[in-house]
Amino acid sequence: MSLSPPRALSSSLTWSRGLLRAHPLFAAVLVLAAGLRVVTMLGYPPAQLYWYDSFSYLDVATHPRPSLGFHPSGYPLLLWLLRPFHSVEVIVGLQHAMGLGIGVLIYAVLRRRGLPGWGASLAAVPGLFDASFLRLEHGVLSDTLFIFLVVAALAVLGWSPRPSVAACAAAGGLLALAALTRTIALPLLVLVLVYLAARRVGVRRLAAAAVAGALPLLAYGGWNAQVNGRFALGGGDGVVLWARTMTFADCAVIRPPAAERPLCPNGAHQDAASEYVWDPAASLNRMPGGRDGNNDLARSFALRAIAAQPLDYLADVARDAAITFAWTPVRHPQRVTPAFGFARGAWGLPDYPLVEKVRREYDPDIRGLRSVEPWAGFLMVYQYPAYLRGPVIGLILLVGGLGAVAGRRRAALPWVAAMFLLVGPVAVLDFDHRYVLPVIPVACLAAALGAADLTAAARRRRRRGIAARAAGGTTTRQFAS
């Protein structure tokens, strides 16, 4: 029998009070983090819209279709579900809620694995309070959904020492959805399958993760084949990998075949690999068909360049990935603002047909971002101390790595996932400060588990040492007597 409204409300309040008593510290942390997100929405209405990505996402949401561009259509499908609201503010409101959800997931799985409330709360703090996450959640971009799906998959797998069949299936499905949001998650699904096989969890669990991960990808690939004539998650993979090689490629060493020689560096120079994708003077963009018509050829050239110059490739990847650990945010490329983006002013939208199309079909009230006082002024001050500096990220990764190697290895999967999220985007295209943000909550999860395991191991060693000294003293007294 259903509860009457007064009884239901009373039951809900009782449950809430019990939750607050059990987790008072994290409840306070979560309330403060929620307040920051309310301030962000008040301070910068309606939402941050980026040309060209945000409008492309909204256009695909209005006319759902698989994409052969750089991004698959997972995020636009979420926007399609939100289309009845006809509001970009609803989109970013949901993303701010996802940001809080990421913190809740981290806290919940760490408490489940035996960490104290203060330790689990501390691990959730960077993702909840770093101003970069506030800005990311406030933009019509796929990143927040991607982070939420990845953290949810790792939380499901880490909920118990031996995940159930349902947990393995859920993790596989979540990572498939993450791959349909950003294709860089596809290797994470493979990583999880390898991890489960290495853990010897059993055929049923491994099969559940594999099938649940494969079905959404196969369905999307089939949809793409039906609409665009190509079974793929997206396009442009060859283009971005070609751009990665433009920072080191030497065709005298590579010796490409005649068909690929026009893709060699032609003297055009950019300060970051990703800039070659958009440089009209770059060799790929000067070819007939440009980027869209030469993706496969660009991929072939890029793989040939990496095989011919592996050390140069690895050196460039290492150099760009190291930008993560700078104390002062480095401009890369030079034209971007890497941090501290909350400012005072009003920013109009470009006068392009796609903008008008999205305004007409998705949200008639779409307009440029503007700052509103006193909220914007508070965020402008707040963002400077509330920024996770590079050496701190390095320390978090170091603790997780030590725990993965020397502890009970509970940190192994999230730490390897964090390292892949750090290096993977750089290896296939370039460094971007935005691409570092998914690393942070995953690395914090690994660091918390690693620190707990290292502390427990140190306590065990200390106890064994005390026991050994006590046994040695007893033996000495026996001989003396």
Each residue's pLDDT tens digit, 133-150 = 999 999 999 999 999 999
8 Å CB contact between 181 and 141: no
Confidence of residue 13 (pLDDT cuts 50, 70, 90): low
Contact 183/233 with Cβ under 8 angstroms?
yes
pLDDT computed for residue 2 by the predictor: 45
pLDDT given at position 5 = 52
Identify the helix (H) or strand (E) that includes residue 347. strand 346-347
The rounded distance, in Å, linking the Cα atoms of 294 and 248 is: 20
Contacts of 249 (CB under 8 A, 6+ apart): 264, 265, 305, 309
Taking 50 as the threshold, does the pLDDT of residue 100 lie above it?
A: yes
The residue with greater pLDDT, 406 or 383, is 383
- Count Cβ atoms below 10 Å from residue 441 Cβ, excluding itself: 28
Summarised one tens digit per residue, pLDDT across range 244-301 is 999 999 999 999 999 999 999 999 999 999 999 999 999 999 999 888 889 999 999 9
Residue 475 has pLDDT above 90, yes or no: no
- Among the listed residues 284, 278, 279, 290, the one whose alpha carbon sits nearest the alpha carbon of residue 242: 284
The mean pLDDT of 116-131, rounded to a whole number, is 97
Tens of pLDDT, residues 440-464: 999 999 999 999 999 888 887 788 8
Cα dihedral angle (143, 183, 165, 81), rounded to 10 degrees? Answer: 50
Residue 15 has pLDDT above 70, yes or no: no
The average pLDDT across 189-208 equals 95
pTM assigned to the model? 0.93
Mean pLDDT computed over 9-27: 70
d(CA 213, CA 236): 23
The answer, yes or no, to whether residue 243 has pLDDT greater than 80, is: yes
20 pLDDT higher than 80: no
Region 303-316: mean pLDDT is: 97
Confidence (pLDDT) at 463: 82
Contacts of 145 (CB under 8 A, 6+ apart): 74, 75, 78, 95, 98, 181
**Per-position b or e across 129-160, b if 16+ CB within 10 A of its CB:** bbbbbbbbbbbbbbbbbbbbbbbbbbbbbbbe
Percent of the chain with pLDDT over 90: 83
User: What is the torsional sign of CA 273, 277, 280, 282?
Assistant: positive
pLDDT of 104 > 50? The answer is: yes
pLDDT at 236: 86
Per-residue model confidence as pLDDT tens digits over 322-349:
999 999 999 999 888 888 999 999 999 9
Tokens of 247: 């920072």
How far is it, in rounded angstroms, from Cα 33 to Cα 195? 33
Give the confidence band of 1 by pLDDT, cuts at 50, 70, 90.
very low
pLDDT in tens, 366-403: 999 999 999 999 999 999 999 999 999 999 999 999 99
Q: How far apart are CA 399 and CA 107, in angstroms?
A: 18
The mean of the pLDDT values for the chain is 92
